[in-house]
Amino acid sequence: MGAVAHAGGVTFRVWAPHAAAVFVHGTFNEWAEPGVALAPDPSGAPGQDGGGATGTWSADVASVTPGAEYRFRLETAAGVLSRIDPYARQVTSSIGNAVVYDPAAFDWGDTAYATPVWNDVVIYEMHIGTFGARADLPGTFDRATRRMAYLQALGIGAIQVMPPFEYAGDVSWGYNPAHVFAIESSYGGPDAFKRFVRSAHEHGIAVIVDVVYNHLGPGDLDLWRFDGWSEGEWGGIYFYNDERAVTPWGNTRPDYGRGEVRSFLRDSALTWLDEFRADGLRFDSTLYIRTVDERPETALPEGWSFMAWINDEIRERQPWKLTIAEDLGDPELLVLPTDEGGAGFGAFWDTAFLRTVRAALTAGEDAKRDLGSIAAVLLAGGEWPFRRVIYTESHDDVANGAVRLAEAVAPGDAANWFARKRATLGSAITLLAPGIPMLFQGQELLEDRWFDDTVPIDWSKSQRHAGILQLHRDLIALRRNLDGRSAGLRGPNTAILRVDEESRLLAWHRWLEGGPGDDVVVLANLSTLPIVDLPIGLPRPGRWRVRLNSDSTVYDSTFGAAIAEDVDGDGPPLDDQAQSGLVSVAPYAVVVLSQDP
């Protein structure tokens, strides 16, 4: 479908089953009307069913070259309609023209790159319009690319790009896609995105694309009544034409039960993995793909089968790539293999982790911090913790009335000691917990204002909060075992050593195979009081060295003294462990212990 360039010109093809005639015109014929006629595929006279047996129309137009602008002209019972190609890889704007694009023309270079294993990844969620922006310049993929070395130094393993598809206007979060095959023109278009992906791979960073298939538009949506047909007031061939079309974002839910629509969305998803070489997809609000309005009685079985179909195809073609579901319902079922009745996603956004940890850190009194709930959510990943993405900030949770964690701790004074301590404690718990950790852009800089798609990141904070940035670098280095002394943080095994309600200490043990350099003990103090020489069970005897103390003055001059010290595991059995040692942890701090390999 769409416009396919070849040596002799371009083949144009479009699905319009209710059109009486279809033409294409553009810069190649000086926009003369009606343009070049498309013939029905494979044969048959157009009429009520248009386009013969398939409902598609095509024409091969000689001498058309990449860069030519074009539109389809449809003669229908509703009148003459001018439409942008639904499969257009490039558009001049959401209401402009399609552009013939040759995907083979881009030079990917010769850098060897392999998608990382997902237990070695920290995700960085990014909005191109604000991450790649300055006060005087809008965000683009090319400007974001200039900060790739920054992300590499931070230790990021994957960038999750908020939806980059062409949307109405020039400013948006991206969750209102008008053209799901075209990269937003204000971001630089398809080649700019490919340059971004190429640079990310050159820096050892994967790219995950946030896709929106639970609804389309609703603004600047040429797909609406595309070929003039609809049932009543509904949207025509691409959408349900009854109440199943209704979503919180408009009456534009795609018809997952119609083969042509399923293929259209599937082709979009595979385009980002194949043609643009992305390493994964994050599906927005899958709850609204599998149900009409979140209730089980409004389930959409064809939506479920649509997701399973895409995941099966990706697994068959590129099994090393990751698909992530955002779902507020039953995420466990989403990550089950399709042959076990699941949807086959590789991971899901764990909103329970977010809610639990944020609630504990924003509680006004230490006694109200629910350590037991945090312990439970640490273990919630079970034997497969890397099937969940864990986080304390995302675009959804720092906007629309919600704020950054530091601001939530101390409204109006997000730079104070309590806010800094508890915000960094949240980052530490996330990066040291079992799962695939995710940061939202600017979190590592202690960005304090809510997410606004018109306001760039305040990059001056990389100097003002240089220590906080270094803390995140150090946490990520531990999480990824870059020094070879914390392999357990990449392992699937977790045990809670202590939930101490009196001292407000939560301690957990993580390991891959066990042993020195592998076993890791994490100590988190969720109190305003220091913990000094508290006996705690340890997995092995011997010397346990402090690999990180988040309270170090290296990270902030207002943080505390060097209270954390190496621990000798020579005490009596404790916490179901054969030995113990005396540990010290500063207020609202994390200490990480491991043994020398």
Mean pLDDT (whole number) for 113-131: 96
Angle 330-396-388 (CA atoms, 0-180°, nearest 5)? 40
Given this model, what pLDDT does residue 44 score? Answer: 41
357 and 336 in a common domain:
yes
Given this model, what pLDDT does residue 48 score? Answer: 38
Cβ neighbours of residue 37 closer than 8 Å, sequence gap 6 or more: 21, 22, 23, 59
Q: Is 461's pLDDT higher than 70?
A: yes
Q: Is 240's pLDDT higher than 80?
A: yes
Determine whether 25 is exposed, middle or buried from the number of CB atoms within 10 Å of its CB (0-12, 13-18, 19+): buried
Mean pLDDT (whole number) for 103-113: 93
pLDDT digits (tens, 9 = 90+) for 527-580: 999 999 999 999 999 999 999 999 999 999 999 866 889 999 999 999 999 999
The answer to the question of residue 266 being in a domain is yes
Mean pLDDT (whole number) for 512-518: 97
Here the CATH number for the domain that contains residue 352 is: 3.20.20.80
User: Of 479, 509, 538, which residue constitutes the final position of a domain?
Assistant: 479
294 and 264 in a common domain:
yes
Contact yes or no for 223/216 (Cβ under 8 A): yes
416 and 361 in a common domain:
yes
355 and 332 in a common domain:
yes
Domain enclosing residue 360, as ranges? 118-213+259-479
The answer to the question of residue 76 being in a domain is yes
494 and 474 in a common domain:
no
Cis (ω within 30 of 0) for the bond into 42?
A: yes
The answer to the question of residue 232 being in a domain is no
Task: Tell me the C-alpha distance between 480 and 353, whole Å.
Answer: 20
The answer to the question of residue 565 being in a domain is yes
The answer to the question of residue 218 being in a domain is no
439 and 416 in a common domain:
yes
Here the CATH number for the domain that contains residue 78 is: 2.60.40.10
333 and 306 in a common domain:
yes
Mean pLDDT (whole number) for 362-376: 96
Mean pLDDT (whole number) for 186-191: 97
Given this model, what pLDDT does residue 53 score? Answer: 60
Given this model, what pLDDT does residue 562 score? Answer: 66
Task: Tell me the C-alpha distance between 394 and 243, whole Å.
Answer: 31
pLDDT digits (tens, 9 = 90+) for 69-89: 999 999 999 999 999 999 999
Q: Is 49's pLDDT higher than 70?
A: no
Q: Write down the mean pLDDT value for the chain.
A: 95
Task: Tell me the C-alpha distance between 1 and 541, whole Å.
Answer: 65
User: Of 448, 479, 510, which residue constitutes the final position of a domain?
Assistant: 479
Contact yes or no for 475/427 (Cβ under 8 A): yes
Here the CATH number for the domain that contains residue 587 is: 2.60.40.1180
**pLDDT-derived band at 63, boundaries 50, 70, 90:** confident
Cβ neighbours of residue 543 closer than 8 Å, sequence gap 6 or more: 566, 567, 568, 569, 595, 596
- Which segment of 97-106, 297-306, 381-390, 558-567 scores lowest on mean pLDDT? 558-567
User: Of 52, 72, 103, which residue constitutes the final position of a domain?
Assistant: 103
Given this model, what pLDDT does residue 561 score? Answer: 66
Does this model's pTM top 0.85? My answer is yes
The answer to the question of residue 242 being in a domain is no
445 and 302 in a common domain:
yes
Cβ neighbours of residue 71 closer than 8 Å, sequence gap 6 or more: 24, 25, 26, 82, 83, 84, 85, 97, 98
pLDDT digits (tens, 9 = 90+) for 307-361: 999 999 999 999 999 999 999 877 788 999 999 999 999 999 999 999 999 999 9
Residue % of the chain over a pLDDT of 90? 92
182 and 40 in a common domain:
no
Given this model, what pLDDT does residue 329 score? Answer: 79
Given this model, what pLDDT does residue 388 score? Answer: 96
Mean pLDDT (whole number) for 482-488: 97
Mean pLDDT (whole number) for 415-424: 95
Given this model, what pLDDT does residue 560 score? Answer: 86
Task: Tell me the C-alpha distance between 286 and 597, whole Å.
Answer: 44
448 and 306 in a common domain:
yes
Task: Tell me the C-alpha distance between 246 and 252, whole Å.
Answer: 7
Report how many domains make up the chain.
3
The answer to the question of residue 246 being in a domain is no
**pLDDT-derived band at 400, boundaries 50, 70, 90:** confident
91 and 183 in a common domain:
no
**pLDDT-derived band at 467, boundaries 50, 70, 90:** very high
pLDDT digits (tens, 9 = 90+) for 214-239: 999 999 999 999 999 999 999 999 99
Cβ neighbours of residue 21 closer than 8 Å, sequence gap 6 or more: 34, 37, 46, 74, 75
Contact yes or no for 509/519 (Cβ under 8 A): yes
Given this model, what pLDDT does residue 566 score? Answer: 96
Angle 333-334-339 (CA atoms, 0-180°, nearest 5)? 75
Q: Is 474's pLDDT higher than 60?
A: yes
CA neighbor of 202 nearest in space, from 102, 107, 323, 320 = 107
367 and 281 in a common domain:
yes
The answer to the question of residue 112 being in a domain is no
